Structure 1
Amino acid sequence: MKKAAVLKRLKTAARQAGLEYREVELTNHTGVIVGATRSTIGRHSEMPDQAAKKFWDQFASELGKGWWR
């Protein structure tokens, strides 16, 4: 799955939930902030589907369990 598609899906869900969404460029990763939850994602253009689901799962406290399904 493309990194841009992963971030776009997260951004759309955050906006629908009325939460703040920000991306911050760090040294080797991109920092993503949704509401009060922070996480990082590598700068690779592609990522495995399992990795994308685990990344999205980090935001389950903000967006609800299984929000990406």
Structure 2
Amino acid sequence: MKRTAVMRLLRREAHARGLVYSQRELARHTAVTVGPVTRTLGRHREVDDVTAGKFFDQFSDVLGGKEWWR
């Protein structure tokens, strides 16, 4: 999955739920904040599906439960 697609999906879901979404670039990662939760994602063009799923799972508490992206 493309990194831009991961960010786009997360941003759209956050806005749909009325949560604040922000991202900032760190040295080798991007910090993504959705509501009160902040996590990092490596800066690669492609993110494999397992990594994307685990990244999305980290936001499951604020975005409506496990596997909200499916």
Whether TM exceeds 0.5 here: the answer is yes
Aligned pairs, number: 69
Structure 1 equivalent of residue 29 of structure 2: 29
For residues 38 and 3 of structure 2, the distance between their equivalents in structure 1, rounded to whole angstroms, comes to 17
Structure 2 equivalent of residue 46 of structure 1: 46
Q: Which runs of 5+ in 1 are unaligned?
A: none
Return the offset for 1:64. Answer: 1.3
Return the offset for 1:46. Answer: 0.2
Q: Counterparts in 2 of 1:1-69, with a 5 A limit?
A: 1-65=1-65, 66-69=67-70
For residues 51 and 6 of structure 1, the distance between their equivalents in structure 2, rounded to whole angstroms, comes to 10
Q: List structure 1 runs of 4+ shifted beyond 2 angstroms.
A: none
TM-score of the aligned structures, taking structure 2 as reference length? 0.96
Helix, strand or coil at the partner of 1:19: coil
TM-score of the aligned structures, taking structure 1 as reference length? 0.97
Which structure carries more helix by proportion?
1
For residues 47 and 13 of structure 2, the distance between their equivalents in structure 1, rounded to whole angstroms, comes to 20
Identity, % of aligned pairs? 48
Q: Which runs of 5+ in 2 are unaligned?
A: none
Over the aligned positions, Cα root-mean-square deviation in angstroms equals: 0.5
